[in-house]
Amino acid sequence: MAIKDSPEEWEVRASTTPFTGKKTAVRTDEVVMPDGSAARRDYQVHPGSVAVLALDTEQRVLVLRQYRHPVRHKLWELPAGLLDVPGENPLHAAQRELYEEAHLKAEDWRVLTDVFTTPGGSDEAVRVFLARELSEAEGERFEVAEEEADMELARVPLPALVRGVLAGELQNNCLALGVLSLHAVLGGEGPEALRPAEAPWPARPFSV
């Protein structure tokens, strides 16, 4: 048997949205179980996100430190952001985030991995890109606000990030997933074996 996730959708008898926020919402579904009973499932409805593992020629990863109020931590993270427009091309969103958060552009883009961040409580899907051949972006720097106004940026060698993840010192999910995936890629077939940047993403279909 192939070990591969597969799409499936169980019957929903009723659905309500008790809360709608600025970017996300909470939905309550009454889902029919295999034995015919029904169970209530509450979950966050999320537009989806992209994250960028930007790797320079010295094998350093661009990371940023940002306050995250729900967990009361400042976390080291990859540049990342929401898919603000339904059907938005995730590559274009990733390029925008790299520009806005780091004022960088990249010539080589590949899909590093795709993930459902918390499938038991949210439908959020994230595509993590590998970006290489970095250079400064043209034009003025993007004006940041709110939590991003306090952001710190650094370039950290990949092995140091891998050690930090395994030691429990770096806990952002996209950072952990990205650096461990890249570590595996570099020890295996190499970045050229990764999917192209415009690879289909069934979790968040988009226009090329």
Residues carrying an active site annotation:
148
CB 97 within 8 A of CB 79: yes
3-state secondary structure 53-87: EEECCCCEEEEEEEEEHHHCEEEEECCEEECCCCC
The closest of 41, 44, 48 to 12, measured between CA atoms, is 41
Q: Where does residue 177 rank: exposed (0-12), middle (13-18), buried (19+ CB within 10 A)?
A: buried
